[in-house]
Structure 1
């Protein structure tokens, strides 16, 4: 018979689906603690959490949680929020986290297009490298042109009170 301490949530602080998400994100290249911290935010029933609470939940050091919070804030998935009755910093998932993340990808998409353009000037124009670089440039140019409209269409599907949460 399984005891409460045998469950994945009791052992790791995340429900099984949260650990599954963290594993998938890790396999896709995200650092393990960042993936687990993101999963903790996504599966939390609380509006905001402190770094200490995340550390206890995930059984992680203050330094690893601090690094994960910094990275998640940098990419726009979480934000610091006021907590008047607390002396600790509180964090939450941004209501517009996914659109913010995709909007911030525009810079990387633009950079990839620029790199392909720069590369084209260094290879013979009729060779296989030029063909690959043109394909790369054209793909990223297309993504850069289409992504803002896609995000706008997504916002148009959201309830009016969510429109105020735009990046």
Structure 2
């Protein structure tokens, strides 16, 4: 088995893992195809051919992956087709988006505490939830910033 076939298999295994984690299977396959591609960018037609999926499936996947910052549309001189690539810095951006969810979860817990009261059974459970999400938010932001700085220094 050559390196290209092994990379395609690795991409499919990662896509399956992502799908088991909740990502739509086709979206995961498009993402991993771009991640594992030896090309700088791929067109929708390239993705259709590579993955044996319809253009509609590629379009749907792209519409899900661009807003979360995993892939981006890039210009291709001399081509009228849209080209896509896996975005540099995608992992840190993806984790940074979790900050909003952490904040929402903490706010939801606080709302429940305000209604049920600190000393109620519900309030005690929600207090732990609020404290957990506050802690995670407090830790995640500096951790991502540190990673970005260290990664940038290593790449320089």
The answer, yes or no, to whether TM exceeds 0.5 is: yes
> Are 2:44 and 1:51 equivalent residues in the alignment?
yes
Q: Which residue of 1 aligns with 2:12?
A: 19
> Are 2:96 and 1:103 equivalent residues in the alignment?
yes
> Are 2:122 and 1:129 equivalent residues in the alignment?
yes
Q: Which residue of 2 aligns with 1:92?
A: 85
Aligned residues: 154
Q: Give the conservation status (yes or no) of the 8 Å contact 2:109–2:127.
A: yes
Q: Which residue of 2 aligns with 1:70?
A: 63
Give the aligned CA root-mean-square deviation in angstroms: 2.2
Q: Give the conservation status (yes or no) of the 8 Å contact 2:99–2:137.
A: yes
For 1:98 and 1:56, locate their aligned partners in 2 and report how far apart those are by CA, in whole Å: 26
List structure 1 runs of 4+ shifted beyond 3 angstroms.
159-163
Q: Deviations over 1:12-51 (max 9, x none)?
A: xx72111111111111111111111111011100111111
| Runs of 5+ unmatched residues, structure 2 | none
| Runs of 5+ unmatched residues, structure 1 | none
If each structure's helix is expressed as a fraction of its own residues, which one has the higher value?
A: 2
Q: Deviations over 1:107-154 (max 9, x none)?
A: 111111111111112224333322221111111111211212101111
Alignment TM-score, normalising by the size of structure 1: 0.84
